[in-house]
Amino acid sequence: TQLLEQSPQFLSIQEGENLTVYCNSSSVFSSLQWYRQEPGEGPVLLVTVVTGGEVKKLKRLTFQFGDARKDSSLHITAAQPGDTGLYLCAGVNAGGTSYGKLTFGQGTILTVHP
Amino acid sequence: DTEVTQTPKHLVMGMTNKKSLKCEQHMGHRAMYWYKQKAKKPPELMFVYSYEKLSINESVPSRFSPECPNSSLLNLHLHALQPEDSALYLCASSQFPGLAGGLITGELFFGEGSRLTVL
């Protein structure tokens, strides 16, 4: 089973602070997705990155895919209480016995205090 | 609003009950999924249906029985569950299944989930 290490597991910050969440693996992914899940809801797709070195921006969120397509990061600028939730990265495996399967990271629980 | 609809939102059942979870999508997606999620953990894949055929069963106990009546509907039949089966059950769909029933770049669209409590 290919693993996707996500860190940190928990993040508690004040409104206005910046933060970065990381997803790392020793395996190559053909694409990587970021989801946000609020309590009582299902995960909602934020972005998909496909090309090594790709950077995508979504308002205050910046997503980066590593050059070797083994890692990704999510950076949030000036966090707001509405950003609170569980952030999940998920990679589509590019080879091996898990080819084409989606692997989730362990998740980052973000709490932004007013 | 999510375009994947799950019912019921909450379900409480005893260990001898038989119940079903339902999922519906009208996006024309050809792959549908059941995931199980425990609190503050990532979703765990249970089943994948590709073009209405079961393509992946992640060694799920037989007390969970999936069914795909047509391309828009997905059911999960529950029988003789255990208290440890209590969890949020998520249905998801994607436009196309990838190779071996997995994904290439297809994003998942999740429903809001059914919160199951087994007493």
Backbone region of residue B116 per phi and psi (left: phi > 0; alpha: psi in -120 to 50; beta: other values): beta
Question: Average of pLDDT values for A13-24?
Answer: 97
Judged by CB atoms within 8 Å, which residues 58-97 of A form the interface with B? 86, 88, 90, 92-93
Q: Is residue A77 pLDDT above 70, yes or no? A: yes
Asked if A104 is an interface residue toward chain B (Cβ–Cβ < 8 A), one would say: yes
The mean-pLDDT minimum among A32-36, B2-6, B35-39 falls in: B2-6
Longest distance between any two alpha carbons in chain B, whole Å: 41
Contact: B90, A101; criterion CB under 8 Å:
no
Closest partner CB to B102 (pick from A35, A44, A101): A101
Give the span between the Cα atoms of B41 and B44, in whole angstroms: 9
Q: Which residue has the tokens 């828009």?
A: B72
| Res A68: pLDDT | 94
Q: What token pair was written down for B43? A: 């979703």
Instruction: Name every chain B residue with its beta carbon within 8 A of the beta carbon of A88.
Output: 42-43
Instruction: Name every chain A residue with its beta carbon within 8 A of the beta carbon of B113.
Output: 40-42
Q: Is residue B56 pLDDT above 90, yes or no? A: no
| Res A29: pLDDT | 87
Nearest residue to A25 (alpha-carbon basis) of A96, A90, A99:
A90
Asked if A102 is an interface residue toward chain B (Cβ–Cβ < 8 A), one would say: yes
